Structure 1
Amino acid sequence: MNNPTVQEYSTGSTKSTSLRLWNTLRQLPLGKQLFTTGVCFKAPYFGTIHPEITILEPARCEVRAPNRRGSRNHLGTFHAIASCNMAELAAGMMTDVTVPVTHRWIPVGMTVEYLAKAATDMRTVAAIDAIPAFGDDPVDLEVPVEVLTTDGTVAVRARITMRVARKKHD
């Protein structure tokens, strides 16, 4: 079986509920904020960084978060764990809209490099180059993530391993 393209994942019956909702809401005034609020309602810890999902499509997700007092460490810079929170949100949402609706996913590992201090608002990019074939056997999908300052400096680089497996039927 050939690997599906990003186009095949963004059309037709393979589209996830999250992606269908995103595509509807993002066109509305404050739609991106409303979508992100819903995600944070479902997974409340993500709300601690006050994120906004700005791009969501198969194989790519971008998230922004303000540099606010609650996200800073004792040095006054964006906290490393707040960056990890952004990375997991972006990787999780990217995975959610990338895997077929017949499959489920869960993060099973994360490696992180702290590369630079960050005293600005942050932008996180989770993206994969190609969508693998998802079949009957579980797949470990490695999702590279970068957390960047407003000038484009990579402050944090992460790799999040997502275990993707076919949903079990009851």
Structure 2
Amino acid sequence: MTADPAPLTAIPGSGKINTLWKKLQDFPLGKHLFTQAVCFKAPYFRTVHPLIHEMRPGYCRVSAPNRRGVRNHIGTYHAIASCNMAEIAGGMMTEATVPSTHRWIPAGMTVEYKAKADTNVTAIARLDEIPVFGDDKFDLVVPVDVIDAEGTVFVTAHITMHISKKKAQ
């Protein structure tokens, strides 16, 4: 006889930000309001003028326009603006995935620049499997693709997030 799998000690997607997302996402301009709240908390994100379209445990999709402020000297989407998009998508996906009993912080990012982009862009963070959140600390590597309007992946990023249980208060 096999033992039952250990129960999850925490429920993914149970934090305050997820609650706000669930309340706002279906209202007119709700996604814009939510995105502005995120940018208020993390002001550098505002530099790419993002819009969060989807956010759930294991997935986040964010878009941004190709405008003068994110272009480099050759007129294409700037590499660091692409990193910013990857961090927004990866961070919001992690926020949607990590339960309220745990905390996370980005610890590093590796990036590959595969092509140039001169269109609006979309960043997609996706986990193949939601991890189990228990008492042990661990690193979660979040893959993110940044895609141009034609669907070409022009940047890939892997963001390492340190995950740990919140300390008792």
Give the TM-score band, short-chain normalised.
over 0.9
Q: Where does residue 87 of structure 2 map in the other structure? A: 88
Query: Helix, strand or coil for the counterpart of 1:112?
Result: strand
- Paired with 2:7 and 2:151, the residues of 1 have a C-alpha distance of 32
- Paired with 2:70 and 2:127, the residues of 1 have a C-alpha distance of 27
Q: Shift of residue 9 of structure 1? A: 3.5
Q: Shift of residue 137 of structure 1? A: 1.2
1:9 to 12, 32, 47: 12
Letter of the aligned partner of 1:95 in structure 2? T
Letter of the aligned partner of 2:140 in structure 1? L
> Structure 2 regions of 5+ residues with no counterpart?
none
Q: Show the 5 A alignment for 1:12-161.
A: 15-161=14-160
Q: Which has the larger radius of gyration?
A: 2
> Number of aligned pairs?
163
Letter of the aligned partner of 2:55 in structure 1? L
Query: Helix, strand or coil for the counterpart of 1:21?
Result: helix
Q: Which runs of 4+ in 1 moved over 3 A?
A: 1-4
Letter of the aligned partner of 1:34 in structure 2? L
Letter of the aligned partner of 1:120 in structure 2? T
- Paired with 2:28 and 2:47, the residues of 1 have a C-alpha distance of 23
- Paired with 2:128 and 2:152, the residues of 1 have a C-alpha distance of 21
For 1:4-41, what per-residue CA distance to the aligned partner results, in whole angstroms no more than 9, with x for missing partners?
6xxx635xxxx111111111101111100000000000
Q: Normalized against structure 2, the TM-score is what?
A: 0.93
For 1:117-145, what per-residue CA distance to the aligned partner results, in whole angstroms no more than 9, with x for missing partners?
00000000001011111111111001000
- Paired with 1:97 and 1:153, the residues of 2 have a C-alpha distance of 26
Identity of aligned residues (%): 58
The answer to whether the 8 A contact 1:2-1:133 is kept is no
Q: Normalized against structure 1, the TM-score is what?
A: 0.92
Q: Where does residue 166 of structure 2 map in the other structure? A: 167
